[in-house]
Amino acid sequence: MPDLKGRVALVTGGSRGIGAAVAAVLAAAGAAVAVNYRERAADADAVVAAIKGKGGRAIATAADVSQGAAVAKMVADVAAALGPIDILVNNAGVAIVRGVDDLTEADFDATIAVNLKSAFLCTQAVLPSMRAKKWGRIVNISSGAARGAGSIGPHYNASKAGMEGLTRGYAARLVKEGITVNAVAPSLIETDMMRGRSDLAQRIPLGRMGQPDEVAHAVLMLLGNDYMTGQTIALSGGMAFN
């Protein structure tokens, strides 16, 4: 486990599922954690309470991360409460299940805004503090749908493929400034997003869905590796190989 004492982390969409698991492991490694949420205040507060109960530092911070002004205020609020952000985990996402014939322009726009634009906005907002320290870690939570067919729809595929392109683009341009940018691409993780879809586990050679903490530990591995940047770590239980 990397030593993250003295580091400040922001986890978007951190109130449940993968985001909550990531917040917990970052706090266990010593980071102060800001748990972002949009609507689930009680869930975010529960994540914060669990971290504090183990002696960690954490706050909940409300923001629609698809909106630039809201992101700027959130980053300023986190800096005031915990300190400048060193670690960003772009986890906020939406999964609007649609077939090709049911997919609307509004569905597409909402998916791109929450899944992709938010990663851009949050990254831009935290770069000044990372550059000032010449150290930063950005991890984007992508999906196996970035490269495979997926089960949600082509709009979701596009948003996650775009996130991996964003990862590589930032990594190439920030590598000399002490900032690494990587992605983790889980497939079929047992979260609220997959509730009622246990039938999908039949596709997985391992025989079960992945767990949020398994994704969180992949994130933690990237935070402790100074030499890895611009990469996507896939977790698929053997469904696909990079």
Which class in CATH covers the domain with range 8-235?
alpha beta
Q: Is 205 exposed, middle or buried (0-12, 13-18, 19+ CB in 10 A)?
A: exposed
Q: Which residue has the tokens 């969409």?
A: 13
Q: Is the pLDDT of residue 170 over 90?
A: yes
Helix (H, G, I), strand (E, B) or coil at 60: strand
CA pair distance 114, 98, nearest whole angstrom? 16
Mean pLDDT of 24-49: 97
Split at pLDDT 50, 70, 90, the class of 204 is confident
Q: Is the pLDDT of residue 129 over 80?
A: yes
Mean pLDDT of 201-227: 88
Split at pLDDT 50, 70, 90, the class of 167 is very high
Looking at residue 240, what is its pLDDT?
75
Mean pLDDT of 6-27: 97
Structure tokens given for 26? 């970052």
% the chain with pLDDT above 70: 95
Q: Is the pLDDT of residue 209 over 90?
A: no
156 is catalytic: yes
CA pair distance 219, 205, nearest whole angstrom? 23
CA pair distance 17, 210, nearest whole angstrom? 11
Q: Are 164 and 122 in contact (CB under 8 A)?
A: no
Q: Is the pLDDT of residue 89 over 90?
A: yes
Q: What is the mean pLDDT of the chain?
A: 93
Catalytic residue among 37, 156, 170, 227: 156
CA pair distance 95, 18, nearest whole angstrom? 14
CA pair distance 38, 60, nearest whole angstrom? 10
What residue type is assigned to position 192 of the chain? D
pLDDT tens, 62-78?
Answer: 999 999 999 999 999 99
